[in-house]
Amino acid sequence: MIFDVGLYGNLILDNTYCVEKYTHGESNICLEKNISPGAIANVAMALSRISPNMSVVIDSLVGEDISGRYVKKWFQNLRKIGIVNFGINIGNIKKPTSEAVIISDLQNKSRSSIVNWGACQEINKLNDYSSKWCHILYVDKLPNLDLNSLKHLSENSIISVDLCSSNHDDKTREKILSMLPYVDYVFASSEEGRCLVGKEKDYDTALAIAKRARGWAIVHSPNGSFISDGVHKHTKGYKVKNKIQKPVNVLGAGDNFAAAFITKKIEDKNTVEESVRFAHEEATKYILNNSKG
């Protein structure tokens, strides 16, 4: 079977605590708690929501522990009730499943996490499922990823990657940059992108990343995005018209942004600008629906 999208990399069990406004050093009141798989799971669910007929294959690792069994059962239950159109290859290893404690600050529209990285960081090979599009989460947290494996996938598939850290050491930075010649779309938040290439403005960040990539860089923030194919005159900005004013839970917004962009490009062959606009709209819709009340 040829899949529309292959999702690779980080599969994390998120333990999320929502607080009205986080105060350091205080005993903050939890308004809501949720336990659910994140990272790849966020993108997979977004793809299914936006385009129910899209076929998706998931490739990751979890541990031989309670958390790993929880993650696998979560995906299996989704398949049983027909919510998703997934192929699943989630392997087990003796390292513990990656888990995160996430504080979602509703007033400041921000989230902070403490992550115990485990099984998914051991991924080194990207299996070839003949997917039209391969999306890798998150390349700055896959220290053992084999560059030749990525190169092989890039020969017949569109490749996109996402980041999740704004504090890269030199070794990680160089590894990410070495991947970019095989990458068609690089998604990065303002903070992540600036850290990667050492620029102070999103325009310069998008241009610098795209110059290293095979295709485009999309540097996004709540205010909008800058996109670039590595050419100065083609580097453009998109500004969000209606910013969210009320307190919201922004966890998963970046994953939904990437999923929406990928869906739009696959289904409609739209320009990058149109796909970015759609991605912002869908990410906003997700945040508002996820923050009712």
Lowest mean pLDDT among 55-59, 79-83, 145-149, 189-193: 79-83
- Torsions phi, psi for 41 (to 5 deg): -60, -40
pLDDT of residue 83: 58
3-class SS of residue 143 = coil
Give pLDDT, residue 245.
86
Instruction: Tell me the per-residue pLDDT of 139-163, one tens digit each, with 9 for 90 and over.
Output: 999 999 999 999 999 999 999 999 9
CA dist 121 and 8 (Å) reads 11
Query: Is pLDDT at 113 greater than 60 in this prediction?
Result: yes
What is the reported pLDDT for 86?
A: 76
Give the span between the Cα atoms of 226 and 220, in whole angstroms. 7
Q: Report the C-alpha gap between 223 and 234 in whole angstroms.
A: 20
**What is the pLDDT averaged over residues 189-217?**
96
Whole-number pLDDT of residue 230 = 95
Give me the mean pLDDT over the 114-140 stretch. 95
Q: How far apart are CA 233 and CA 248, in angstroms?
A: 36
For residue 198, give the DSSP letter.
T
With both helix axes pointing from N to C terminus, report the angle between 272-289 and 253-268 in degrees, rounded to the nearest 10: 140
Q: In what side-by-side order are the strands of the sheet with 110-116?
A: 32-39, 11-19, 99-105, 110-116
What are 156's two structure tokens? Answer: 């017949």
Q: Which fold has domain 5-289?
A: UDP-N-acetylmuramoyl-L-alanine:D-glutamate ligase (3.40.1190)
Determine the average pLDDT of the residues in 41-62. 93
**Which pLDDT does position 79 carry in this prediction?**
72
Chain centre to alpha carbon of residue 18: 20
Quick one: pLDDT at residue 85?
Answer: 67
Angle (nearest 5°) at CA 33 between 32 and 35: 150
Task: Quote the pLDDT of residue 21.
Answer: 94
What's the pLDDT tens digit per position in 33-51?
999 999 999 999 999 999 9
- State residue 292's pLDDT score: 62
pLDDT at 243: 85
Using DSSP bridges, classify how beta strands 11-19 and 32-39 pair: parallel, antiparallel or unpaired: antiparallel
Can you tell me the distance from the alpha carbon of 129 to that of 112, in angstroms, rounded to the nearest whole number? 34
DSSP letters along 128-164, please? Answer: ----SEEEEETGGG-TT--HHHHHHHHTTSEEEEE--
Edge-to-edge strand list for the sheet holding 56-63? 86-93, 56-63, 5-9, 133-137, 158-162, 185-189, 216-221, 224-228, 236-239
Q: How far apart are CA 169 and CA 176, in angstroms?
A: 11
**From CA 10, how far away is CA 287, in angstroms rounded?**
22
Q: List, in order, residues 6 or more apart from 147 with CB less than 8 Å away.
A: 178, 179
Inform me whether the pLDDT recorded for 293 exceeds 80: no
Which two structure tokens, joined as six digits, stand for 72? 């696998």
- Residue 80, pLDDT score: 67
Residue 54: helix, strand or coil by DSSP? coil
**Of the candidate ranges 84-88, 102-106, 226-230, the one whose mean pLDDT is the lowest:** 84-88
Q: Where are the domains of the chain?
A: 5-289
pLDDT band of residue 286 (cuts 50, 70, 90) is very high
pLDDT for res 81 = 62
**CA 282 – CA 278 distance, rounded (Å):** 6
Alpha carbon of residue 38 to chain centroid: 9
